[in-house]
Structure 1
């Protein structure tokens, strides 16, 4: 195993590094040489206010992990920046429409640049959901997932660009509702639903009035809640009448909404959410698009670590597209087919 030596401050230490020499402070012994750095070691050095550099050896594996962490941080900062910019765009879109189109171009370029690190974006950023930002970060996540699906189904670059615009703007209407969306649990769901349903038409009205935007962008905004069986809104149209952008955004939207609800995600488990997308593809979401989406997403989980419902760690070896929630895993050298072991399920992904 190749290693290299470095002199690092405490805040630069990472688990897996090996301390080369005894660490002392004012004659007091702190850490013995050849100790492998972990979170407890870092905490002990921080508590001792150790300010000098420490000599450590770093393996290629640790270097790779540090590189991955840096890339995750870089992408996360990009997505936060786009989310902030999207909020500003929404605030001004009805006043300086044409000028703000250039902002969309910039956001699209940044998202497509981030997608050069697909594994990072999918496993460590997007699949964590949009947290407490159901409009702007949600829009960025949906645009990212939509761009991925657009590439996977073979859309040409110019259309992917327009698709990203539509996905970024898909919930613009939520910011223009005449009354705020009820948030309290005691408000009837139907009342909340009737308020929210208006956002698709409202968003379409604003976006369609921007002459420099292709009409396909406004179609994606208008129809992203339409469903294959006609159960969607605002037009209740079916199948081929729904624009392909809206079909793509619908899949991305559903996934991010489920991933953003921690209680729902924890009760269902990460793979059950993919199973729900598959189930909805039978009647509500476009079947072919959903199939392509799930097949590609599943590939990013091969070889990843998971926590089972037993509390034990395992590695995913194979995912059965007919039973997405129950893959074949390897635990302590033992193969476990979760489709045949109904008492065990995957509780948590350990992707980064």
Structure 2
């Protein structure tokens, strides 16, 4: 399978992964033959990319870092919790801890797992899917930092609920499809205090979780809010969640902006390490993130085009690439796999939206 922009889908292509809404309902099943009506529906839902199956990529399997059902249930739980907060209802903390424990169990089964960014979401699902992704990315970072299970659990719950205060921000501001003015930005910034207040009142939710809601927008150099704290003045969990939060936001389509590619987001994080982000935590974070995820289409300095088939944790800029089109732009008739570690003169020059 490989990832392709919906704009380049063609009738007859075969979908390789299920597409779900935030309630876990299948919108389109793996194995479906693409039709024009499906393409229109995907665009209506603002789903910009999907995974497609093809003969030359039949053996390329892109695995999520957690089980598919676990991610779906976590997303449903995030939606339920946030809907209850919006309506002024109570929330069940036991379910939150249970779901986070299941995510931790999935991640601990393979401590060397590389995040491949295979989550497909609608723009409307952003808040819930984002909360789950920040939870997963934060726990992976905590594992990289040597956290024990209890600490991972508290970090995971804190990450899952970090944006809960946004449920008390007006939808017109929260979902504005253009840049916020100063007044609107100040309104958005209130979500930190609101989240802290909400979580401080929930039984069995630890104080660290409320602190993360309050301080995940603090920055290492003191440029964040609400207090302008610096470096170790900021709770360590908040320094972890800040990186996961920004990375997932940068690599996700939003109502008001298009996402950037993983290698571009990684470059941003590395540039900002020591400024916006804790440099040591940033190192722990990037250790398990694929700069060029499996299934992405790339152009090489040789003029060839292909699909990433495997990541390399030790040398993340040197993945394995299956050549699909040769340097003359002709489809390859033989299977050719390049391990870029073994070909130091060959460089990835671009990430492409389509193969042909």
- Coarse TM-score class (shorter-chain normalised): 0.5 to 0.7
Answer yes or no: is 1:261 the counterpart of 2:256.
Answer: no
Flag the 1:225–1:91 CA change in 2: closer, same or farther, 3 A: same
Could you give the per-residue CA deviations for residues 253-275 of structure 1, whole angstroms, max 9, x where no partner exists?
0111011127643xx43311111
Flag the 1:83–1:337 CA change in 2: closer, same or farther, 3 A: same
Flag the 1:220–1:167 CA change in 2: closer, same or farther, 3 A: same
Hey, what does 2:124 align to over in structure 1? 132
Could you give the per-residue CA deviations for residues 265-307 of structure 1, whole angstroms, max 9, x where no partner exists?
3xx4331111111112130011001012112324x85987642
Hey, what does 1:150 align to over in structure 2? 142
Q: How does 1:288-303 map to 2 (within 5 A)?
A: 288-298=280-290
Q: Structure 1: any 5+ residue segments left out of the alignment?
A: 1-12, 16-38, 44-60
Of 90, 95, 120, which residue of structure 2 is paired with 1:96? 90
Flag the 1:185–1:90 CA change in 2: closer, same or farther, 3 A: closer
Q: Is the 8 A contact 1:208 1:218 kept in 2?
A: yes
Q: TM-score, normalised by structure 2?
A: 0.66
Answer yes or no: is 1:274 the counterpart of 2:274.
Answer: no
Hey, what does 2:116 align to over in structure 1? 123
Q: How does 1:209-220 map to 2 (within 5 A)?
A: 209-220=201-212
Q: Judging by fraction of residues, say which structure has more helix.
A: 1
Answer yes or no: is 1:312 the counterpart of 2:317.
Answer: no
Flag the 1:216–1:238 CA change in 2: closer, same or farther, 3 A: same
Q: How does 1:111-260 map to 2 (within 5 A)?
A: 111-115=103-107, 116=109, 122-126=115-119, 131-177=123-169, 180-181=172-173, 183-185=175-177, 188-260=180-252
2: CA distance, partners of 1:220 / 1:138: 16
Hey, what does 1:19 align to over in structure 2? none
225-234 or 132-141, larger mean C-alpha shift? 132-141
Q: Is the 8 A contact 1:270 1:347 kept in 2?
A: no
Flag the 1:317–1:164 CA change in 2: closer, same or farther, 3 A: closer
Q: Secondary structure at the match of 2:228?
A: coil
Q: Secondary structure at the match of 2:225?
A: coil
Shift of 1:178: 5.2
2: CA distance, partners of 1:73 / 1:320: 18
2: CA distance, partners of 1:106 / 1:177: 28
2: CA distance, partners of 1:271 / 1:348: 15
Structure with bigger gyration radius: 1
2: CA distance, partners of 1:154 / 1:280: 23
Flag the 1:250–1:311 CA change in 2: closer, same or farther, 3 A: farther
Q: TM-score, normalised by structure 1?
A: 0.66
Flag the 1:244–1:189 CA change in 2: closer, same or farther, 3 A: same
Flag the 1:320–1:304 CA change in 2: closer, same or farther, 3 A: farther
Q: Structure 2: any 5+ residue segments left out of the alignment?
A: 1-13, 17-30, 35-56, 324-335
Flag the 1:302–1:187 CA change in 2: closer, same or farther, 3 A: closer
